[in-house]
Structure 1
Amino acid sequence: MNRNYFVFALFITFMISFCVIEYKSVEYDSLHIQTVQTILSRNCSYQSPREILKIKNETETNSLAFLSGNDKNLTQEQKDLESILTIAKSMSKEAVLVTVINDGYLPLAYNWLCNTKHMGIQHQVLVIATNQEAKEKLLSVSPDIKVVVLTVDKYLQKDQKYSHVGYIRLLVRRTEILLALLENRIETFLFEFDFLWLQNPLSLFKSYSGKYDMLFVHNSNKHSMVTNSVNGGFFYMFPTNTTVKLFQELYSRMLKLADRIKTWPPEKKVSEGENDQVYLNDLFSKRYGGLKALILPHTVFPDGKWYSLPESKRKSWKPYVIHNNWIIGNGNKIARAKEWGHWFLNNGSEIKCNFEAIRNINSVKTKEIFR
């Protein structure tokens, strides 16, 4: 009898041990597959099983927090992203116009809001600001827009120099936001405030739905306005699988860059061969993932070289927008806009639109526009 009990106990012990081993094996295989997929989609380095288990536990915890509405386990960055997505989803019956700004761009933002006040698009605008004061000022100019405050270090709230560490860190956040919008199938138009809008281009953009993944404008160089380079701050995205795949790769590259410069001071210059526009142009030129993209005509979407064209050529073009670039510094951009009659704010300390200037700009035939 005792021998039978011993054999039975041994059998039970063996079966329990086998089940535990099998369970661990299945769990590890599942994690391995998940990690390989992550490597393929994000181009990350391979992680040890211990790191994988830690990531799995953190991911499950954060997912449960989202589902339960309990966000105490989320990082501030994740909370910011959830706020942005919640608002963007409420706006997504139409394309969402997204831009990220800090204090250095606020005067240009006020000017653009006055410029486009009559176009009926401001309910589609989602501004990502870097502090509460900026949000309140923007809403005082246009209560129709949506503004979310991004939690950033104080130095990022100020004007950032192109291709410096602070500038790159802000662009990493912007790329993350754009990827999240696309992964949630939100049609997105990234724009910046240093543009003059003469006509609303959104219906033109929508007409390309189903034909292209992304729409771009030229990024001219010192030799020509027509190049194979595209502008990294003004493009329209249809949320196709191809566009999502491209932005996953772009974000992966930006994260690697951020990691390389994580110990650098904000004012340190970064190689101009390392930024989102360079990476985006590389992916565009390779038609990454089978990308179907269109560069819109430079006569319809010119950049700042338009201002130096002969008068006869300027008048022969019918632009939707004009990019106020090819000039260094926001102060110089403002001075040029004022010189050309493209400034729509009243003089003085109060932020108020100059409606006479807005009326003048409504017709592209007026001398105030073409001088």
Structure 2
Amino acid sequence: MLASVDYGYVDMAVNLYLTSIRRLKISNFLLVCSDNQAAAVARAKGITSFTLDRHDVDGNKSSHYGSEGFIRKTHVKTDLILKALNLGYTVIIVDVDIIFLKNPIPYLQCDNCDISIQSDSTEVNSGFYLVKPTLSGISLHTRALEMAAANPRLTNQKTLARTLEKMNKTGEIRAQLLPDKIFPNGRIYFEEGGRMLPGDNPCRDCVVIHNNWIVGQKAKKYRFKEHLLWSVDTGEYYSCPNRKYMTYENPVYFGANSTFARENAALRCAFAIAHLLKRVLILPRFHCQGCKLCGRLGCPTCETGGAHFSNDTSKPLCYAGVYYNIAKLDRKLQYRESSFLQNPLVPRAIKESVSPVLTIIPSSEKKVSHAKNTFTTKWKSGATKEEIIKWFVSYSAVSVLRFEMLYGAFTGFDTLGDFKTNLKDGLILSDYRQYNTM
């Protein structure tokens, strides 16, 4: 079983190891590192690894989907597989954006196949397959590399898929397409499966989940975190006993024309308040409004599967990645995923140190709060910086400051200095798959 990685994606490789390889006690696994930095991380985590004697110029950073660096890196995988096949090994290739719910090896027992490969809905998926060291298996990878050399704009998935299709037509190879319900790709598992948040539609048949059909390492990592499929604790991301957090909800549905605007404004207020109180914001969940993939134009994903609802039980909730560009959010703002406190790596002491439910009410808002601890400001546009600090200093020892809602809760963004710019640059709208920045 092989996986390849460079330093830009090494935390994804560590997550694969922790959640899948080590948990399931799979021993025949080798992580092939493209650079010494990635190899050092692998060794520190006890991962059996091998370092290539060649180094990619972009090896220390993740490469954007479709970029020249991304395409070049994908062919390293084909070359590795071919080398292993020529040594007589049967190879299972595993992309690092994958999770095993069960050991996949017992499900890969096709005696008459040269290759058993996952589907990517539109073509075969080069991120997960088993190939045997037969003449056909070796020829497939040899021809795929030749096609890559002649067509440098094609990824290894394209070259593999096109070569496999040709060999299938001529009867030169025996191929098995792995069933979607056992080996779902990201489109099948998350989107068509109606899985927006943890607990949605548990998949009892699933063996391997491929976190693809979403662009970028940041977005993939964030989706893993929201689904409680992330176990990497770099920088005590989960386990720090002293870090302070803040959380709030979006309990009110204001109608199709204004709900997102109100929730977007509340998020800006929340980040500002967390910044003033030196806390890390735990993102809320948002009302799904329209969008094909639970975004702003239609919502079949949540409506068919989401088990998480607001106080208005006809309005399902979804996570921030539906609306915001995760890569930009990561670069500019400190936050945690909405399911953060459910992660088993968060200390129990943090989970149990929670304030009473608090609410800030500006004079322009109708009083819709049920919280006993309500703070009312005379300003129509929300509380000032001075009020925020004065009101909540008494909660400084509490790990999690919990607000019921933050609609119109803060004014005075001009008093935030450079943080105002971070808000502007960090809260950039996108679509669910993170293809388009809006």
Give the TM-score range, shorter chain.
0.5 to 0.7
Secondary structure of 2:151's match?
helix
Match of 1:120 among 25, 50, 57: 25
Q: Label 1:153 to 1:232 Cα distance change in 2 as closer, same or farther (>3 A).
A: closer
Answer whether contact 2:33 2:49 (CA < 8 A) is retained: no
After the TM superposition, which segments of 4 or more aligned residues of structure 1 sit over 3 Å from their partners?
Answer: 310-317, 349-352, 354-357
Q: Are positions 1:291 and 2:173 aligned together?
A: yes
Identical positions, percent: 23
Match of 1:343 among 230, 234, 238: 230
The alpha-carbon deviation at position 175 of structure 1 amounts to 2.0
TM-score normalised by the chain length of structure 2: 0.49
Distance 1:146 1:316 in 2: 31
Which amino acid in structure 2 is aligned with residue 107 of structure 1? D
The alpha-carbon deviation at position 231 of structure 1 amounts to 0.3
Equivalent residue for 1:301? Answer: 183
Structure 1 unaligned residues grouped into runs of 5+: 1-96, 221-226, 259-269, 358-371
Matching of residues 1-371 of structure 1 within 5 Å: 97-116=1-20, 117-121=22-26, 123-143=27-47, 145-205=48-108, 207-208=109-110, 210-220=111-121, 227=122, 229-258=123-152, 270=153, 274-286=154-166, 287=168, 290-305=172-187, 306-308=189-191, 309-310=193-194, 314-315=201-202, 317-346=204-233, 348-349=235-236, 356=344
Distance 2:34 2:136 in 1: 30
Q: Which moved more, 1:126-135 or 1:232-241?
A: 126-135
Answer whether contact 2:8 2:59 (CA < 8 A) is retained: no
Structure whose residues are more often strand by fraction = 2
Structure 2 unaligned residues grouped into runs of 5+: 240-341, 346-438
Q: Label 1:158 to 1:348 Cα distance change in 2 as closer, same or farther (>3 A).
A: closer
Distance 1:318 1:111 in 2: 22
Give the greater-gyration-radius structure (CA).
Answer: 1
TM-score normalised by the chain length of structure 1: 0.58
Q: Label 1:132 to 1:257 Cα distance change in 2 as closer, same or farther (>3 A).
A: same
Answer whether contact 1:212 1:293 (CA < 8 A) is retained: yes
The alpha-carbon deviation at position 289 of structure 1 amounts to 5.7
Secondary structure of 1:242's match?
helix
- Give the number of the structure with larger relative contact order, counting CA–CA contacts within 8 Å between residues 6 or more apart: 1
The alpha-carbon deviation at position 237 of structure 1 amounts to 0.5
Distance 2:218 2:73 in 1: 21
Q: Label 1:148 to 1:347 Cα distance change in 2 as closer, same or farther (>3 A).
A: closer
Distance 1:102 1:289 in 2: 36
